Structure formats: structure tokens, C-alpha cells
Amino acid sequence: FTRDFYIKAVFIDSESQQVPVEWETGQDLRFIAMQACCLSSESTPVCYIHDENSDVPCQEHVERLLMEAEEQQRPPNPRSRPPRYMPQHLEAEYLDDFEIGVAYKYRDDSVPSSYYSLPKFILNELKKMVHRRQGGTNYVDVDMILYQLFEDRSETSVWQAMQGQDVVIIGSLVPWYEIFALENGARHAYTIEYNEVDHHHPGITTVTPEEYWSQGQDRQRFKVGFSISSIEHDGLGRYGDPLDPQGDFRAMRQLEDILEEGGILLLAIPVGKDVVVWNIHRVYGEYRLTKLLSRWTVELVIGLNQDMLQDSVIIAPQPVFVLRNTRPEKPVNFSSTGDAWRFVF
């Protein structure tokens, strides 16, 4: 867009407050608009996109804005679009020799790396939301589980392990879990994210995977990590990543090298009957969940029950798994007769 835009977002707490946000070259207008909507405490948030012609209610026109931005705002994508259907020659690998099913719900989010930076007032609002115990993302159930988990302040708790430590967040544009960690005692939050992100927050540093791994043996390893709705996307091509039937397993192995030996990973992934929903994500059931966690020690699971593993859904709930980066003597079995259920809270 060549015209000047700004966003007027109304947040309603004790009183209405109207906050203008200047849109600058290099910022993603769609990104700021959608986050302004999400941050309202009202069930119907009020957010306006303004140009010289009109104030447009964001609630009614976000989809239009997204469609227009597809062609007008984001830079041309030099890569080919992700395949709409699972390549036939990879089906057996993706579906574990057809032990699991496939469904289709296609998205193309394969934009080249973009620069993201949230305004300071949104970062401040995120901080307030943590203290109000509000959900700050699309994964409100996950957020409520984390609040519950962090109520435990005992010597062996996750909260205690995080005090004064640097933590790592895997895949994040909106620094919700970074702010969450900082407000719960972390010293610094490091994000590993494909896009270029700088929120100008003294407690948050973002690096790309290439930047992180290029440090070799000098790279930092962490005692606590967050991976919230990230692993299930790896290798499906939705974000322009290479097709890789084992992408989620490879990502979990990389996390073994990102965390210290004995470090803690908070993992949230969709759980239901095993299925690859091409190309948006995987849903993990009895079969693939056991394989995914086979190299980790399961300490606690919150938000899971046995019935969930049999639910045939493409948009599934996401329990939180508290995992320790130590190789178990015997992998936990998540089948209906397995031993995993003693860890479920």
C-alpha cells in the first residue's frame, strides 16, 4: 500500500481508551490490525482501519483486508505454492504406511520472511493480560492450563525451574508466551522464529533458526522451553517449508539439542484420532503421539483424557505436556491400555 494507514483500537477495561498506531513501511498492516482486535477484552472488539476515504470496521472487513493484502501488500513469493494435495509418492511416509488417516483443509501461508514489530502499547497490554489471567492467543485453553500449572511454586515445579533463567520459545510472532515467561520470573526470553521479529523489548531476543544453529557449539542451550502449536506444522509445506513426512519428529530431536540435558519442555499439540490434516497440521492420537514423545521423559500431562484420542476431528484440543529432556528407560505408551495415564492430571 502506498497510502498512509493507521489503526484506531478501542480497549475496554474500566473505561474506553482510543489508541492510534502509526503504520510504517516494513510493518505488516494485517498483523497489527488482527492483534489489535485480539487484545480487546470485549467479546466484540472494536478496531478500525483508517485511510483518507473511510473508517472501516475491522470485524466486518478483516477477511477482505486479508484477501487484498494477498496480492497487494506481501512481497511476491519466489517459491511455488504448497501442494494442495499430499503428493502420492509421499503418502506412505506421511501416513506411517497408512496406519493413520488423511483429511484436507488447505492454507498457503508461504510468505517470504517478513519483519514484525508490535507497538509498545500492545506489549504493555499483553503484560496486563497475564496479570488478569486472560487468554492471550488463539489457544485460550492452553493459556488457562499454563496459569494452573504455574500455581505450583514448589521446589520441583516448572515455575521454580524458570526463576532467573533464560527461556526459549519456538515459533512466535506475537510475544505472548515471552511476556508470560518474563512475568513469571524468567530472566530473558529467546524466540526462534523464521520471520524477522524485533519488538524492541529489553527482555526479548528473536533469532532465526539459521542464526541460532550457525553458532555451533557456542549456541545457548536452555533449561525451559515453550513449543505451543508449532511442531504439528513442520514438514507440511504450509509455511513454505520443505515437504518432510518426518518433520515433526525431526523438530522434536532438534529440541533435544536446544534444551539442556534435563531441561523442561512445555509442549502443546492437537490431540485426537491420528490424522494428517493436509496441509494445516497433524492431529496426534494413540499411534503417533507415543512415537513423538518416545525420546522424552513425560512428567505431567494436563487437559488430556482417553476419549480425546478417539475423537475424529480436524481442529483438536491441545493438552499441555510437561516433558524432561532425558531419555526414558521405556517410552510412555498412550494407547488405551498403556501406562501414560498415570501422568495425566
Contacts of 14 (CB under 8 A, 6+ apart): none
Distance CA(159)–CA(146), nearest Å, equals 10
Q: Peptide bond before 77: cis, by omega within 30 degrees of 0?
A: no
More confident residue, 294 or 138: 294
- pLDDT of 211 over the 50 cut: yes
pTM: 0.77
Pick the CATH number of 115-343 from 3.10.20.600, 1.20.5.510, 1.20.1050.140, 3.40.50.150: 3.40.50.150
Residue 135 has pLDDT above 80, yes or no: yes
The one-letter amino acid at 197? V
Q: Are 338 and 332 in contact (CB under 8 A)?
A: yes
Which pLDDT score, from 0 to 100, does residue 113 have?
62
Length of the chain: 345
pLDDT digit string (tens) for 55-77?
A: 444 444 444 444 444 444 444 44
Is residue 169 within 8 A of residue 178, CB to CB? The reply is yes
Convert the pLDDT of each residue in 314-326 to its tens digit. 999 999 999 999 9
CA distance 275 to 81: 23
**Amino acid code (one letter) for 275:** V
- The pLDDT value recorded for residue 6 is 37
- Residue 103 · residue 95 · CB < 8 Å: no
What local confidence, expressed as pLDDT, does residue 139 receive?
A: 83
Domain boundaries, the chain: 6-72, 115-343
